[in-house]
Structure 1
Amino acid sequence: MKLYHLLPGMLGIAVACTALADEITVASGGGVYQDAQRAAFFDPTAEKLGITIKEATTSGIPEIRVQVQSGSVTWDIANTAAEECAIGHKEGLFEPLDTSVVDTSGIDPKLVGEDWVANLYYSTVIAWNTDTIGEDGQVPQGWADFFDTEKFPGDRAIYDHPRGNLEAALLADGVPADQLYPLDVERAFAKMKELKPDITVWWNSGAQSAQLIKDGEVDLIQIWNGRVAAAIADGAKADFTFDQGILMADCFVIPKGAPNKDLAMKALALFIAPEQQALLPLHIAYGPINQKAFDQPVLTDELKAKINSSPENAARQIVLDVAWWGEHGAEMMERWQNFKQQ
């Protein structure tokens, strides 16, 4: 057998391996959310590392679980809710972070796990229809006002999930923000029961919530700040407040068995670096998870005033306890469904 007969095939294999080593696949939530991550995180990282970043979409932990448990992992980095990261950690679904590569300084330690790190903040806030609320100069300034149907009569819409709602109910019932956790579940559901007759829509997606406020279908709505900001920019007659907003986070993980783990670790380090975190608010109304981003010159004082996770706005809010929800989320979801059916 002559060696040169093997060279073309061997060369093809080598080229294929090189190409594979120079690309990773990142799965995120799609839509304008992923568009913003692409502009702030994915494209700058691809350029800095000289690699290709392919994209996929994911709805979160169930799909990551299936890939890992089947031994057929195709994603190198995946985005999911921070409390799902806590769940996935317990199940051993993720690769440990290489702390010699991934610098998490500047990020709240509560939002960094052994094998996951938060990547952005969004806020659950109170928004209202300016055609029906505020004509007398009074607007909601916290969850007590949202729950006060005499002071602010009208239809309410809330996210169809206990996360954030239980916190809102307890804040409305007078629990101090620094004493929320562990959540008094009985008290929270009792308060939710008071509001239930005035909840006309239990929304299930960000797009639905934005449409509700754009159409003027409800008077008050519990909504993600990015969605209401986009709706207002698109002409919705609405306003909102960060007062008693609930700061929540999404996270990045490297699924166990990721095909390009080492390269993914380098990319992840850049995704959460201050320079790229600072780019996020240029593309969507969500905030940097890394507080060092606010030292970057790209973020002007005018822009900082609008960002949910800026020091000034964050001080008006509470941070969702990821660990608590990772421990109790499934139980709360079952109870939430029973509560709705009562």
Structure 2
Amino acid sequence: MAAALALSTFATAAYAEQTLTIASWGGAYQDAQREAWFNIVAKELGITIKEDTTSGVADVRVQVASGKPTWDLVQQGNYGCAILDKEGNAEPLSDAIQNMEGFDASLKGKGWISNLVYSNVLAWNDETYPDNKPQGWADLWDTEKFPGGRSMRRSPVYNMEAALIADGVPMDKLYPLDVDRAFAKLESLRDDVTVWWSSGAQSAQVLQDGEVDMSGLWNGRAQSIADEGEPISITYNQQMLLTDCWIVPKGAPNKDLAMKAIEIMSRPEVQARIALYINYGPANSKAFETGVIPEDAAKKLPSYPDNLAKGFILDANYWADNLDKLTQRFDLFIQQ
């Protein structure tokens, strides 16, 4: 015990007075990360954490291309992480991180690891559908049984998967996507989509205002307006599980320190803390075994085991390879 204490003290001393710069999405989400994770890292390593914000993949590319990145650790969406990894813009993660238990193989890559789980779900207005409730993506297309305006994301991501599931493709047989079949199915719904949303705020607002009656959107956005008392419900049936993730930009000035920070934030008991501050689930499945998350709160999270079993994990590597060309085709599709 004395030896272990000495080693821990030595490690903390080695990092003393160092600064780790982390870039994330800002707002309430980054506030939650600070309380749940950053403060734990700062205390355990005896370091100062400096925060910045990122708007996406392009920011990281610029940092790496400069030859002198100022960020040590960056949050991205999962297919954003996969893209940066394939481009060589991410440092390979340490063996300690790669070997951590509780992470599905689809939630990490050579240079990235997921840190939380959210999902794209089907949501609707209960006042429009007081009796029969939608059960899955096929109901988004069923405008006879469920009349009303629809809303979907202005992106091929999520919509291609939803279209194929609605057309009868099993969730475990989606990838690689049958693109022509997906677009044919989307064609049959296009005239009923009154809003192609381009931000999380917009996706919730058009549902809250009654501009649309049913929508595919992020679970946290739908849950937030439901918690405010709006007659909005969601189903986790056929949910598309999504993750945000950590990468260390290539050439980061404090790479080793960043790896240690990821390792700490990936521990089950630390991972679990995020659910105490925002309605997102931990990526480490073992976090649900820690007792940190109250049971009633856990049941509302997309990565809660019972909810997890109802959906599928979005294939980050597929979208890393196909995002650009499918975005071009999708943009042409909705402009026709």
TM-score range, shorter chain: over 0.9
Task: Determine the structure 1 residue equivalent to 2:247.
Answer: 253
Task: Determine the structure 2 residue equivalent to 1:129.
Answer: 125
Distance (whole Å) between structure 1 residues aligned to residue 16 and residue 161 of structure 2: 45
CA contact (8 A) 1:81 1:251 kept: yes
Task: Determine the structure 2 residue equivalent to 1:61.
Answer: 57
Distance (whole Å) between structure 2 residues aligned to residue 305 and residue 20 of structure 1: 40
Match of 2:302 among 299, 308, 311: 308
Matched, 1:90 2:76: no
Distance (whole Å) between structure 1 residues aligned to residue 233 and residue 96 of structure 2: 44
Q: How many angstroms does 1:301 deviate by?
A: 2.4
Call closer, same or farther: CA 1:146–1:226 in 2, change over 3 Å: same
CA contact (8 A) 1:104 1:112 kept: no
CA contact (8 A) 1:177 1:318 kept: yes
Q: Percent identity?
A: 50
**SS of residue in 2 equivalent to 1:190:** helix
Q: How many angstroms does 1:192 deviate by?
A: 0.5
Match of 2:41 among 34, 45, 49: 45
Task: Determine the structure 2 residue equivalent to 1:4.
Answer: none
Matched, 1:270 2:267: no
For 2:267, the aligned partner's letter is A
Alignment TM-score, normalising by the size of structure 2: 0.93
Matched, 1:329 2:323: yes
Call closer, same or farther: CA 1:300–1:122 in 2, change over 3 Å: same
Task: Determine the structure 2 residue equivalent to 1:318.
Answer: 312
1:175-324 equivalences in 2 (<5 Å)? 175-324=169-318
Task: Determine the structure 1 residue equivalent to 2:10.
Answer: none
**Structure whose alpha-carbon radius of gyration is higher:** 1
Distance (whole Å) between structure 2 residues aligned to residue 20 and residue 327 of structure 1: 41
For 1:285, the aligned partner's letter is N
1:67-106 equivalences in 2 (<5 Å)? 67-100=63-96, 103-106=99-102
Distance (whole Å) between structure 1 residues aligned to residue 248 and residue 264 of structure 2: 14
**SS of residue in 2 equivalent to 1:110:** helix
For 2:220, the aligned partner's letter is G
Distance (whole Å) between structure 2 residues aligned to residue 72 and residue 252 of structure 1: 19
Distance (whole Å) between structure 2 residues aligned to residue 20 and residue 61 of structure 1: 31
Call closer, same or farther: CA 1:295–1:198 in 2, change over 3 Å: same
CA contact (8 A) 2:136 2:238 kept: yes
Give unpaired runs (5+ residues) of structure 1: 1-17
Task: Determine the structure 2 residue equivalent to 1:23.
Answer: 19
Call closer, same or farther: CA 1:265–1:276 in 2, change over 3 Å: same
| RMSD between aligned residues | 1.5
Match of 1:169 among 163, 169, 177: 163
Q: How many angstroms does 1:72 deviate by?
A: 2.7
**SS of residue in 2 equivalent to 1:53:** strand
Give unpaired runs (5+ residues) of structure 2: 1-13
Matched, 1:341 2:335: yes
CA contact (8 A) 1:29 1:58 kept: yes
Task: Determine the structure 2 residue equivalent to 1:110.
Answer: 106
CA contact (8 A) 1:170 1:191 kept: yes
For 1:54, the aligned partner's letter is K
Distance (whole Å) between structure 2 residues aligned to residue 178 and residue 102 of structure 1: 25
Q: Give the length in aligned residue pairs.
A: 323
For 2:321, the aligned partner's letter is E
Q: How many angstroms does 1:129 deviate by?
A: 1.1
Task: Determine the structure 2 residue equivalent to 1:143.
Answer: 137
**SS of residue in 1 equivalent to 2:109:** coil
CA contact (8 A) 1:102 1:268 kept: no
CA contact (8 A) 1:21 1:260 kept: no
**SS of residue in 2 equivalent to 1:217:** coil
